[in-house]
Structure 1
Amino acid sequence: MEYWQQGWVWVVAGVVLGVLEMLIPGFVFLGFAIGAVIVGALIWIGVLGHALPLTLLIFAVVSVVTWLVLRRVLGVRHGQTKHWDRDINEN
């Protein structure tokens, strides 16, 4: 059995990506982390695990959808960006 066919490998990868998200915040790795954990769960219950291209496709789709949902729910808020209307060096 190949390493990518084992659910615990995907879950560990998700945990590592989650730790990276804590070190580098900004929703960069969080979607990938959740996607990896979901793929690991799907392999454990027997839905995935035989074809690498299908497993990677499911991982990519789940990661992008998760990232988009997180961006919509927790993303940029109105008024979060600061717009400067004058220069600090102007008198």
Structure 2
Amino acid sequence: MSLMNGWFWIIAALLLALVEVLLPVWLFLGVAIAVLAMGVLILIGVWTGSFAWALVVTGVLSGIIWLRLRRAMGVQHGQVKIWRTDINDNHP
């Protein structure tokens, strides 16, 4: 079997989603969605490129998805908040 089999990509996406559940850091979710998208593209026959280009496209797509998820979800509980003003400043 070839690495360009869409089912391998979908199984990899499910494993990455499982890692996201175990280690919720939002990184693996973007990668899992990108890998799932590439698997679906391979299965339906849209992607016919090489394995190397599939990895490049998946990497770029995962970065875009991660940025979109980060913007949509915002700062989560437990993350560092940067304060721009001080409570002790008496500015009118």
Q: Same fold (TM over 0.5)?
A: yes
Q: Secondary structure at the match of 1:29?
A: helix
Shift of 1:7: 0.4
Distance 1:8-1:20 versus aligned 2 partners, 3 A rule = same
Q: Secondary structure at the match of 1:56?
A: helix
The count of corresponding residues between Structure 1 and Structure 2 is 81
Whether the 8 Å contact between 1:14 and 1:36 is mirrored in structure 2 is yes
- Equivalent residue for 2:64? 65
Normalised to the residue count of structure 2, the TM-score between the two structures is 0.77
Kindly provide the amino acid, as one letter, of the partner of residue 62 in structure 1.
Answer: L
Q: Deviations over 1:45-86 (max 9, x none)?
A: 112244112111111111111100000001316xx6467x9x
- Equivalent residue for 1:45? 44
Q: Deviations over 1:8-42 (max 9, x none)?
A: 10011000000100100120210110011000000
Which aligned pairs between 1:3-82 and structure 2 lie closer than 5 A? 4-76=3-75, 81=80
Normalised to the residue count of structure 1, the TM-score between the two structures is 0.78
Q: Which runs of 4+ in 1 moved over 2 A?
A: 80-83
For residues 75 and 33 of structure 1, what CA distance do their matches in structure 2 show? 20
For residues 81 and 34 of structure 2, what CA distance do their matches in structure 1 show? 32
Superposition RMSD on alpha carbons, in Å?
2.1
Task: Report the identity percentage.
Answer: 41
